[in-house]
Structure 1
Amino acid sequence: MLYPELFKQLESVRWDMDKDIPWAQFDASRLSDEQAQTIKMNAITEWAALPATEMFLRDNRDDSDFSAFMSIWFFEEQKHSLVLMEYLRRFRPELVPTEQELHEIRFEFDPAPALETLMLHFCGEIRLNHWYRRASEWHSEPVIKHIYTTLSQDEARHGGAYLRYMKRAIGKFGNEARAAFAKVGVLMASARRTAQALHPTNLHVNKALFPKDTIQSRLPNPEWLEHWLDQQINFDAVWESKVVDRILHNLSLLMDGRFKTVQELNRFRKSLGPAPAAA
């Protein structure tokens, strides 16, 4: 089982909201209303760990090890939402999300193949790590800069934990797992070819609710994410290439390949033949 070891590792670096966030360094002159609004949107988006955890537990009922790990992931992701809300409560109380705004993004996701979902969220952690690193650079207020750096480090550790479960899956399922991971990897490393940001919170997950079946579509400002990325934190092609490089690098290590480009990963995917129905 991976859960006991991952619990010990993540517990050893867990930060304390009262002791490890430098609240006393807050500088009101360095926080704009525009910046504060983005913090609210991210606080709500992070609340999406709730429906995501419900999805993971439902779709991994046969995997108690991974399901137990969800207790760590869920706790730490909800803590992200909480620390952003605490920041607003202290310094912009009028922007604290309402309970209804938070509840609005709790809806059921359609069942999906567990291996593909695992890879999707692995890529999501890599992407969010880079988004938050860029957000920390964009902000000028010291406390929120520290918070975004802290969250980005958590997301990196979560990605590492998912990678451990992906390695285990290849040991169990072989090419079925490789095909699932390569398929989603090609999609998630091709963001420059799409009109939208490729992250789990921005993907359609419930046909019955379409088009209001993404996390972002249920925010108070559904257009916020693209504006935040393009106009505010300026997540440009240089930063996008860093995300793609990390995805390809990790898949290369995972599958003993050398994927320098998405095209090379796609050729590898095709070499595996048709993906098994269970994948």
Structure 2
Amino acid sequence: MLYTDLFTSFEKARWEMAKDIPWHQFDASRLSDEQAQTIKMNAITEWSALPATEMFLRDNQEDSDFSAFMSIWFYEEQKHSLVLIEYLRRFRPELMPTEAELHAVRFPFDPAPALETLMLHFCGEIRLTQWYRRAAEWHTEPVIKRIYETLSGDEARHAGAYFKYMRRAIERMGDEARVAFAKIGVLMASAARTGKPLHPTNLHVNKGMFPADTVQSKLPDPEWLERWLDQQIQFGKLQEGKVINTIFAKLSTLYDRTIDSANDLNRFRKELIGRRPAAA
């Protein structure tokens, strides 16, 4: 089981909100209203780990190891929401999310293939690692800068844990897992061409609620994410390239072959699909 080792390593890396966040360094003069509003939106977005965990547990009924890991992931993601809310409680209480605003992002996700969802969230954690790094650079207030640096480190560890489960999936299911990961990899690596931020919280997940079936659509300001990325933290081509290159590097390791582009990955996916009848 991967869960036991992951539990041990995550325990060693865990930070404490009371001791590891330098609350005493807060500088009100370096926090703008614009910046404070984005903290609220991220606090609500992080709360969506709740429905995501419900989805993971439902769609991984046969995998107790991965389901147990959800206890760690869910705890840490909800802690992200909590530390952002605590920041607002201390320094901008008028912007604290209401319980209704938090509950709005808890809605049912349609069942989806477990392997594709795993890859989607692996890519999402890589992307969020870079988003939060840019957020830390954009903010000027010392405490929130430290918070985003801390959250970025957590997201990177989460990506590493998902990668371990991806490797295990290939050991168990072979090309079925390889094809699923390549399919989502091509989608996520093509984000720059779509002009839309591709992340689990911005993808449609409930056909019956379409088009209001993304986490972002449930926020008080549904348009904030693209504005945050494009105009505020300025997550541009250079930063997007870091995300895509990390995905390619990880898949190259996973597949034991060089993946340098979405075309490389798509060709490999077609090779995998093409050899299925021969294997059968």
Separation (CA, whole Å) in 1 of partners of 2:222 and 2:121? 21
* Aligned equivalent of 2:45: 45
* Aligned equivalent of 2:161: 161
* Aligned equivalent of 1:28: 28
Deviations 1:46-76 (A, max 9, x none): 0000000000000000000000000000000
Separation (CA, whole Å) in 2 of partners of 1:17 and 1:10? 15
Consecutive unaligned residues of structure 2, counting only runs of 5 or more, are none
Q: Would the aligned equivalents of 1:119 and 1:166 in 2 still touch at CA under 8 Å?
A: yes
Q: Would the aligned equivalents of 1:60 and 1:66 in 2 still touch at CA under 8 Å?
A: yes
Q: 1:38 to 1:274 in 2, by over 3 A?
A: farther
Deviations 1:64-115 (A, max 9, x none): 0000000000000000000000000000000000000000000000000000
**TM-score if structure 1 supplies the norm length?**
0.98
Separation (CA, whole Å) in 1 of partners of 2:189 and 2:92? 36
* Aligned AA (1:247): I
- The Cα shift of 1:29 comes to 0.3
Q: Does 1:216 align with 2:232?
A: no
* Aligned AA (1:190): S
* Aligned equivalent of 1:59: 59
- The Cα shift of 1:195 comes to 3.0
Q: Would the aligned equivalents of 1:179 and 1:275 in 2 still touch at CA under 8 Å?
A: no
**For 1:110, what is the secondary structure of its paired residue?**
coil
Deviations 1:214-260 (A, max 9, x none): 00011000000000000000000000000000000000001101011
* Aligned equivalent of 2:119: 119
Q: Does 1:69 align with 2:108?
A: no
Q: Would the aligned equivalents of 1:25 and 1:143 in 2 still touch at CA under 8 Å?
A: yes
* Aligned AA (2:266): N
The structure with the greater share of residues assigned to helix is: 2
* Aligned AA (2:145): K
Q: Would the aligned equivalents of 1:216 and 1:225 in 2 still touch at CA under 8 Å?
A: yes
Query: How many positions carry a matched residue from both structures?
Result: 276
Separation (CA, whole Å) in 2 of partners of 1:273 and 1:218? 37
How is 1:184-195 mapped onto 2 (pairs within 5 angstroms)?
184-195=184-195
- The Cα shift of 1:274 comes to 5.9
Computed over aligned residues only, the root mean square deviation of the Cα atoms, in angstroms, reads 0.9
Task: Extract structure 1 runs of 4+ deviating beyond 3 A.
Answer: none
* Aligned AA (1:145): K
Consecutive unaligned residues of structure 1, counting only runs of 5 or more, are none
Q: Would the aligned equivalents of 1:203 and 1:214 in 2 still touch at CA under 8 Å?
A: yes
Q: Alignment identity in percent?
A: 73
Deviations 1:11-50 (A, max 9, x none): 0010000000000000000000000000000000000000
